[in-house]
Structure formats: C-alpha cells, structure tokens
Amino acid sequence: MEPVNSFENAETESQSQSAVPLSPSIYVRPTLRNGESYHVFISYSSTDYQWTHSIISHLESCGLQVCYHERDFTPGRTVLENMSECIQESQKVLLVLSPEFVRSRWCLLEANMSLFRDCLERKPIIPVLLQSGVSVPLHLCHLTYLEASDPSFMDKLLKVLCTPNQQLQGSTVAPFQPPSIYNGKAMQPLIAVNDDELNTWDSGKFMDTEVPDQLRLIIEDQEKYREAVRMINSVSQNKVWLRPLWIRVLIYVTGVITFLGWVAISIYVTIFIASNFSVEDVNKSLTGVLVVTISSVFCVPLGLIIQLSLWKRDDGNYIVREMQKAVGQANTIICVEKVLMGCRSNSKIYLVYVSLDGCKQEFEETFSKQEEAEHMFHRALIFFSSGYACCLAKRHFPFPQPSSTGHLEGGVCFCQYVSQQLSTGDWK
C-alpha cells in the first residue's frame, strides 16, 4: 500500500500561491520564526556523507539555512541533547534513509523517542529514500517519501522545504494509525542484549522489562509483550544447559566410567568363575572380558569424538528450532495486539505489524465448531507464525504469489502461508 501522499497534496495546494515556485531557480525562502535558526535539520549516516553534503551545498547555495551534526552540534553535549535542540530550532526534519541509517541512526532516534517526541510531532518529516529496497521504519510508513533517483528530486525537495509547515497537513510523525496503513509493515527487529557474547549453543536474551517505543504506540496491553519476551528468554534457561562442551564431556566421561565399572565387575565375575568352574568355562569368560576390554579401548574414544562432532554440528540448528517454538508460543499471546514475531537466528527477533482478524475468520468458516477452529488457529500460530513473520519482514516468500486474493492487501496473508506450508509438508 502506498503511503499517504501528504507532500503531493501540499504541492497541489501551493501551486496557487506565489510563495512556492515551480522550479528550483525561482523560490521564496521561508521566514524563520521565533526560536527557529534553521530551515531544515538533516539526519544521515556517515556512510552517506558524500551524497548528503552535495545536497546540503545545493540547498545552502539557494539561501536555505541547513543544520547537520558535523558542523552544528555543540561539543561536550550528548548526541540526544544536540538532536533534540536542533530539531526544536529547525522548521523541518529531513531523514536520509539508507540501510546503514535504518540500522544505526534511526534506531537511536526510535530508542529515545520519548526524549523529543513533542518536537517531532510538531515538525514535518521529509523521508528521502537514498536507494531502493530500504526498509522504511514503521513510524514513517504513512508518509510519502522522496526518491533520490527521481530526476525531479531537487525540484520536489525545494518545493517541500519552501512550503509553510501549516500547509503540509499530515506530514508529521503520527501516533498509531489504522491497520490499512501499517498492515504488513516490518518494524525494527529486537537484538539480543547478550549479542556480543553469544555462542552457537546459546539462546539470545531480550529486554523484557521495557517495551520499545515503536511498540508503545501500538500495543495496548504491554504486559502481553513482556510475557511474550519472557517465553523466548526461557529457552536460555531450559534448553541451553546441555549444550556447553564441558557438560557434554562430563556426561560422556560419566558414561565411560560406568562402562569401565561394568568391565571391572565382569573381571570379578570371571575370577569367581575360575575358582569354582571348569577350565573351559574360565576360557570362555576370559575371552569375553578380553573382547569387551579391547572394544572399550578403541571404541570409547572414537565414539566420544563422533558424538561430540555430531552434537557440535547441530548446535545452531537446535537452539534456533527451540527459539522458533518459543516464538510461536509467544505469538499466541501477542497476535491480538496485531504484532507477530519471527526468528531465524539466536540473536535477532523480527517484528511485523499485521492484522490476523481476516485469517482467523477464515479458520472459523473452515471448521464448523468454534472450539475446533480456535484450536487449529492456535496450532497454526505455534507452527507457522514465526516463519510467516520472517518472510513478511524480509519481503520474500519461498513460493510464488498466490493467485487468489488473501486478507493482506498486496501481500501473502497468514492463512495463505499456512495453506502453502501444509501442501508441501513443511512444518518448520
């Protein structure tokens, strides 16, 4: 679904006014009001320095006052304090969206949204998509973004910057919007707090005390989120303890000692037989003990190496499978808040905003009894919701787009995904 076209609406309205020109060479520079020092604050990643500074140079040559961090941040103050002040002193905020920006700088903005939410809600936000394929953050999905590859990009940018704020209706960061706008959108993933120290057999631990700012605008019952995350964190407590190498060696050595104890008992029994039975019986007993002893000398170390190798090889797959099961259980709780989680590694949880109301109704129509429908929908969430959320977040499904229309406009809905997975026998 295309975002709300607030910039184009503003452009149409502004054509009747002499204040906004039709070309970048003829324009009216907006007047800076009390408390305003800049026409625009530009936030970008350092990896996009060259492109951004060419734009800054062009804007400043047109007489616009531009604020950016390398030059205008006050030394000795925190980044957040500087950003908050610069946003307050600017008429508009321009975000240069690139993969690196979304990974780093937008995460900083989003994680500390409460610090300057009031500033952002009063300022028009201008998202610039630097390259195709960038995942637009959820809070910006309702905006029309400008594309850097557009031949008319500079013309459009100048028109927006020269349009008074009151004419840019609906172009500020807004709180929760109806599902028709956000449905199917990916949010910033959760990264394990112990990401730097994770082993292959470890399960990531995620913050379960605080709800991320991006979810506070969406989730009404925030305790559901905390409970869902606690379910995922329980994997590290209940499933990982057998995985470390020293524990495996200890278990195997215990087995070896037990085995050798059995050999010692066999020898004792052989000696007992030798003192009470015939020579033929003694020879048979000694032969049996000798075979067992030689087998233990060669087979036990070999078995230890093989077992540890197989166990080691399965480390990553094992823990991810356990986390996927936990994520499926967590989704049975959090799906009512129109949020699903997905897991493909032991350190990252994908988040998507998606309504399953239509899919749930499909289950109710398929199964005559309500209890049976609810049970099957619950099972589908446990088995398939994690994989579905990952596919939705990555915008890639391992099968062609279904020909039939589903419950998610322009995408694959949950019941279509379940049907496809069942048809292939894939229950992962």
Q: Which two tokens stand for residue 77?
A: 């103050």
Element containing residue 299 per DSSP (H, E): helix 279-313
**Cα dihedral 191→146→185→344 (10° resolution):** -40
Identify the pLDDT of residue 249. Answer: 65
Backbone angle region of 257, left / alpha / beta, with phi > 0 → left and psi within -120 to 50 → alpha: alpha
Q: Which two tokens stand for residue 112?
A: 């500390």
Identify the pLDDT of residue 359. Answer: 94
Identify the pLDDT of residue 123. Answer: 78
- Cα–Cα distance between 144 and 171 in angstroms, integer? 8
Backbone angles phi, psi at 41, to 5 degrees: -105, 125
Sequence-separated (6 or more) residues with CB below 8 Å from residue 326: 231, 232, 234, 235
Number of H helices, E strands in the chain: 17, 9
Q: How do residues 1-49 score in pLDDT, each as one tens digit?
A: 333 344 344 434 433 333 333 344 467 888 898 889 999 999 888 889 9
Which of 102-111, 327-336, 406-415 ranks highest by mean pLDDT?
327-336
Q: How do residues 286-297 score in pLDDT, each as one tens digit?
A: 565 555 555 555
User: Burial, 417: exposed, middle or buried (Cβ in 10 Å; 0-12, 13-18, 19+)?
Assistant: buried
Q: Which amino acid is at 21?
A: P
What's the number of CA atoms in the CB half-sphere (13 Å) around residue 131? 9
- Cα–Cα distance between 411 and 404 in angstroms, integer? 11
User: Burial, 394: exposed, middle or buried (Cβ in 10 Å; 0-12, 13-18, 19+)?
Assistant: middle
Q: How do residues 255-286 score in pLDDT, each as one tens digit?
A: 667 766 666 666 666 666 556 555 555 555 55
Could you tell me the pLDDT band of residue 121, with boundaries at 50, 70 and 90?
low
Average pLDDT in the 346-359 region?
92
